[in-house]
Amino acid sequence: MPVDPSTATLLIDGDWRTGAATFEVLDPATLEVVGHAADAGPEEALTALDAACAAFPAWRATSAEERATALRAGAAAIRAAAGTLAAIMTAENGKPLHEARGEVMGSARMLDWAAEEGRRAGGRVTPQAAGGPGLVLRAPVGPALAITPWNFPASMLVRKVGLALAAGCPVIVKPAEQTPLIGTELVRIIAEAGGLPAGVLQSITTTRPAEVVGALLADTRLRKVSFTGSTEVGLSLIRSTDTHLRRTSLELGGHSPAIVLEDADLPAAAAAVSAAKFANAGQSCIAVNRLFVHRTVYEEFLPLLLERVAALRVGHGADEGTTLGPLIDFAGLDKVERHVADAVKRGAAVAAGGRRWSPPEGGARAGLGGAFYEPTVLTGADDTMLISSEETFGPVLPVYVFDDEDEAIERANTTDYGLAAYVFGSALARLWRAADRLDFGIVAVNDPAPVRPELPFGGMKNSGQEREGGSEGIDAYLETKSISMKL
């Protein structure tokens, strides 16, 4: 029986529970309450861990093919419910409906990929030595915790769940407090469609993540944490215990450069940069945060970019034609305003936007009191500005001019982050050189959306450790065992 996700968002040991308290979930565009989620504490989290530990032996003993069948059923059910899921996501995250739908469909593809990777996660046999062969086995690491952010509340969650379950690990999901409803609904769909046994997939929503996650981290039975979110919290998870080690995957913040070389297809590059910057109102870990344009094409490129930006339509994500929704909250808006004010103080010019957005007088929808900001382009940016070193996480694009390729790559690499970089151009040798020298886990060549299930996703430096997706993704949930045999 479907459970109303606005009242029972804890799936623990096979039961949907409401918890002792609930919290409100807001539409970030209108600040209206769109649902309620259960507010779990450490006790519920530890009950879920007990259930995960109890479920582990049987789940790891199922065949990879059975697990794959369950996951593929989950993927099909997600596709079938895409419209509902997208509406829930837009209601609590604010992103335009077409983006939400795209994310849902991408999540289903990730689940299908994980299902198949589980079937390929075998080991190897080493040559005969000292009387017998050696075997390298892959074994599920054990009960896992998936902590997910609000900005991509479906894909981040489904990718972790798929890889954990395919590897044979029970997983407890902890969605972000801003977006508990989509997380809960996805867990319900995957658990029901796949007929998953109690304790294999569980969900904990809470407004006290530090306390709840802290209780789980203190327990050595939790063998794996996969976290997507801020670098600050990611670092705190690593520091959380000095008594034991645990496998930890971190997908953290980014500060993506985009480089437009002099031989780029300029209209295509302008469209791609606009998409890679303003999708999800700039609240993406792989959003372009710094745009470097070759001096010889700058005058031609800028109007093309501004044309794209002028075509963006700000509004409620559920309204027809909206391409830019609100920021998740006013703290996010404050950071955007701080970055713009600092850049302008240091000499940048506002070429588009540069202020809060308000709905037009007499517009079709009233009550848009959320944290909206106009899509903004700053020209004359330089490397001393706050925006040049901090992740903005909003719809602001600073444009820098460069004179040669070496300079562009060096400036692009001058960041503590290393998640994604974009390069636009034509000559293959030059594109290859740039891709090779950019110190980022992901390099997008003439591509505005470098996320594919087949490719590993993750960053270098302060952007994280381990990878999700690709053939590498499942490694994060597997131990390697060496078996030495004398027969």
Binding residues vs ligand NAD (CB under 6 A): 147-152, 156, 174, 176-177, 209-210, 213, 228-230, 233, 236, 251-254, 285, 391, 393, 419, 459, 463-464
Is residue 29 within 8 Å of 326, Cβ to Cβ? yes
Specify the residue, 7 or 236, whose C-beta has the smaller distance to ligand NAD: 236
Cα angle 241-245-251, degrees, rounded to a multiple of 5? 85
Q: Least separation, in Å, of the C-beta of 61 and ligand NAD?
A: 31
Specify the residue, 214 or 369, whose C-beta has the smaller distance to ligand NAD: 214
What's the length of the chain?
487
Pairing state of beta strands 22-26 and 144-147?
A: unpaired
Q: Is 53 in the active site?
A: no
Supply the DSSP symbol for 259. Answer: E
Query: Which of 92, 251, 391, 466 is flagged as catalytic?
Result: 251
Supply the DSSP symbol for 386. Answer: G
Specify the residue, 154 or 176, whose C-beta has the smaller distance to ligand NAD: 176
Is residue 468 within 8 Å of 456, Cβ to Cβ? yes
Nearest to 144 by CA among 40, 12, 249: 249
Nearest to 273 by CA among 262, 284, 289, 250: 289
Distance between CA 458 and CA 346 in Å, rounded?
33
Q: Is 470 left (phi over 0), alpha (psi -120 to 50) or beta?
A: left
Distance between CA 250 and CA 160 in Å, rounded?
11
Is residue 46 within 8 Å of 216, Cβ to Cβ? yes
Specify the residue, 109 or 138, whose C-beta has the smaller distance to ligand NAD: 109
| Residues forming beta bridges with residue 294, ordered by sequence position | 402
Convert 87-110 to b/e letters by CB count within 10 Å (16 or more is b): ebbbbbbbbbbebbbbbbbbbbbb
Q: Least separation, in Å, of the C-beta of 152 and ligand NAD?
A: 5
Q: Least separation, in Å, of the C-beta of 312 and ligand NAD?
A: 21
Specify the residue, 21 or 210, whose C-beta has the smaller distance to ligand NAD: 210
Pairing state of beta strands 124-129 and 33-38?
A: unpaired
Specify the residue, 39 or 262, whose C-beta has the smaller distance to ligand NAD: 39
Specify the residue, 269 or 286, whose C-beta has the smaller distance to ligand NAD: 286
Q: Least separation, in Å, of the C-beta of 145 and ligand NAD?
A: 9
E runs forming strands in 170-267: 171-174, 201-203, 224-228, 247-251, 256-260
Q: Least separation, in Å, of the C-beta of 250 and ligand NAD?
A: 8
Nearest to 476 by CA among 173, 189, 121, 108: 121
Please, which residues have CB within 8 angstroms of residue 482's CB and are 6 or more apart in sequence?
Answer: 134, 135, 136, 137
Specify the residue, 69 or 465, whose C-beta has the smaller distance to ligand NAD: 465
User: Exposed (0-12), middle (13-18) or buried (19+): which is 239, by Cβ within 10 Å?
Assistant: exposed
Name the residue with the smallest CB distance to ligand NAD: 229
Q: Least separation, in Å, of the C-beta of 443 and ligand NAD?
A: 15
Q: Least separation, in Å, of the C-beta of 176 and ligand NAD?
A: 4
Query: Which of 285, 391, 405, 466 is flagged as catalytic?
Result: 285
Supply the DSSP symbol for 468. Answer: B
Residue 154: how many other CB atoms lie within 10 Å: 29
Specify the residue, 117 or 466, whose C-beta has the smaller distance to ligand NAD: 466
Q: Is 251 in the active site?
A: yes
Supply the DSSP symbol for 345. Answer: H
Q: Least separation, in Å, of the C-beta of 280 and ligand NAD?
A: 9
Q: Least separation, in Å, of the C-beta of 279 and ligand NAD?
A: 12
Residue 461: how many other CB atoms lie within 10 Å: 18
Any idea which residues carry the catalytic annotation?
251, 285
